[in-house]
Every structure is written in C-alpha cells, then in structure tokens.
Amino acid sequence: MSIAVYPGSFDPITLGHLNVIRRAAAVFDELLVCVMINSGKDPLFTHEERVELIKRTVVRFPNVRVEASKELLVEYMKTRGAKVIIKGLRAVSDFDREFQIALVNRKLDNSIETLFMPSSEKYTYLSSTVVKEMARYGADLETFVPKEIITDVINRVESGLEVGSK
C-alpha cells in the first residue's frame, strides 16, 4: 500500500491545496494531510480547527485522512508507514525552500522521497496569507478557499479572535 503525506500549516486550506490533494489522492492508495506547526507564522486557526476545516473539504476523497502533528515530519511518517512527502510548488521561489527541506528530510531518513507537484496555473498566486489578507478586506473568497469553509474564515477574521494575534 502506497502512503504519502502532504504536510503544511493549511491556515486556512486554499483551493490550491485542495487541487494538490485531489491530484495526489489519485496517485497514492492513501494520502495523509498533516497539519504541522510553522513557528514562523501567526495562525488564524488552531491546530484542531484546521484539521476540522480540512476534513470538511476532503470528505469527497475516500483515501484521504487528516491529522495534526507536532513531531518532526520524518518521525510522523515512520509511525504511519509513509515513504513519500507531497509538496505543492507555486513558483521557483517555493522550489528553493522546499528543495532544501527535502534534502534535510532525506538526510534524516534516506528512505523518504519528496514529490514536488507544480500548482495548477490558476492557483499559482494563491496562498493562505493571501486568503487571510483578502478576508480582512472583505473580498469575495469563492475563488480562494473551498466553499465549505468560507463562512468560518470570514467569521474568524471579523471576530478578531485570531490565534496568533498579539
């Protein structure tokens, strides 16, 4: 059974993330979408909230599971029997950073491979940071995030209860 892990902060999940999930789910027997900690970002949603938001958007994919982890990615993968990391790339700048991370992961466990999936061209501009900024200005989020979570994003931004706000 082939198991891949798509790690990220997913704060919130975007249509670009969902596109990568759909494509990776078609290639692997099981895809684990893993909400990870990114210490360089101030989160809009908690770990638990992000898992629930993603679960609502991936319910149509029977071979996709959603979990959260605070451990090192390669350790998480060992406990799940996964051998492939999926990373979506929007631009060359993404590749530079993700390539370095892939080399570190391979150094930690040389049995793990990283598969880079180029973004669909219609999502190359899209990031969770863009979504949060557009939500703060009241923009229509239909072309940014899955319809299942638009209200959640708007409500969180309007409430001012962002997890990472000071």
Residues identified as active-site? 17, 41, 90, 128
Give me the phi and psi of 70, to 5 degrees please.
Answer: -110, 5
Query: By C-alpha distance, which of 79, 89, 164 is closest to 121?
Result: 89
3-state secondary structure of 101: helix
Rg (CA), the chain: 15
Quote the tokens at residue 120: 């669909």
Say how far apart CA 118 and CA 124 lie, in whole Å: 9
3-state secondary structure of 33: strand
